[in-house]
Amino acid sequence: MLKRALTAAGLLVVLGVAPLATAAPASATASQCTGILNSYGYTVGAKSTAACGWRHKTGFGGVVLANPNCLNGLVALGVKYSHAETACEWA
């Protein structure tokens, strides 16, 4: 009986975690990131949109931090660091 209960609980955990593990980087605010780049005068294309797809990080005390994947991706495309940092904080 205990084995069956543990199996069921394990299955529920796997089913609950699977969507999180397979989800793409959040892009709910990727348009804000690309909008900021556009406002700075950058041409927004597929590569910058992909970089903006990396959701920002939340630090201690709820401080919003640029995701390194977003930041490095935009800088590699020639975006000024401070502009990339601002845009990625909105991603």
pLDDT digits 0-9 by tens, 53-79: 999 999 999 999 999 999 999 999 999
Close Cβ partners of 13 (under 8 Å, ≥ 6 residues apart): none
Q: At what angle do helices 68-76 and 81-89 cross, to 10 degrees?
A: 140
pLDDT of 45 reads 96
pLDDT digits 0-9 by tens, 21-63: 444 444 448 999 999 999 999 999 999 999 999 999 999 999 9
